[in-house]
């Protein structure tokens, strides 16, 4: 009887340990499945982001901005092209090309206090437009103008 009892207890212990082992196997299978469905896509996405970061970014397109060389006739002094370029640089905006111009979308009367049509044009990156606007420039696409030779002669 003692032998049968020991055998019975041993059998129960064996069944319980096999059951516990089976549960561990199921948990391991669930973990592997979670790894494949969650971690592998995240790792692939991380690699894609690293690849994108390694590629050089496309530069922002270039656009023209302008400002009046002098706001009103007989008031203040003309701003030179170099002074205008320096003003943009102080605002953190790089000018890739610069020209003098004249607005052709308005008629400008000669007389003190009247606006002048002489403008300064600069080619900048589009992502710097807000800084240029804050510095007193505007997008040249909103006006009609022609490029002219820069002169140092003072306007009335």
Query: Are 68 and 124 members of one domain?
Result: yes
Backbone conformation region of residue 82, classed left if phi is above 0, alpha if psi is from -120 to 50, else beta: alpha
Task: Please state the pTM of the whole predicted model.
Answer: 0.61
**Block residue for tokens 């007193």:** 136
If one counts the domains in the chain, the total is 2
Query: Are 107 and 46 members of one domain?
Result: no
Q: pLDDT digit string (tens) for 35-71?
A: 567 656 666 777 777 776 666 678 899 999 999 998 8
Query: Are 18 and 5 members of one domain?
Result: yes
* Neighbouring C-alpha atoms within 13 Å toward the C-beta of 89: 10
Helix (H, G, I), strand (E, B) or coil at 112: coil
Secondary-structure percent of the chain, ordered helix, strand, coil, rounded to 5: 50, 20, 30
Range of the domain at 132: 62-148
Which CATH number is 86's domain given? 3.30.70
DSSP state of 115: B
Query: Are 71 and 143 members of one domain?
Result: yes
Q: pLDDT digit string (tens) for 76-126?
A: 888 999 999 999 999 999 999 999 999 999 999 999 988 889 999 999 999
């Amino acid at each position: 009887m003692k032998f049968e009892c020991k055998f019975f207890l041993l059998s129960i212990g064996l069944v319980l340990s096999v059951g516990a082992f089976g549960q561990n196997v199921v948990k391991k299978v669930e973990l592997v499945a979670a790894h494949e469905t969650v971690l592998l896509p995240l790792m692939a996405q991380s690699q894609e982001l690293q690849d994108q970061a390694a590629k050089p970014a496309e530069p922002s397109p270039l656009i023209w901005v302008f400002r009046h060389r002098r706001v009103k006739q007989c008031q203040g002094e003309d701003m030179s092209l170099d002074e205008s370029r320096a003003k943009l640089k102080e605002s953190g905006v790089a000018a890739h090309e610069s020209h003098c111009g004249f607005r052709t979308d308005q008629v400008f009367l000669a007389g003190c206090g009247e606006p002048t049509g002489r403008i300064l044009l600069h080619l900048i990156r589009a992502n710097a437009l807000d800084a240029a606007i804050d510095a007193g420039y505007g997008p040249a696409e909103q006006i009609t103008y022609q490029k002219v030779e820069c002169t140092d002669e003072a306007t009335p």
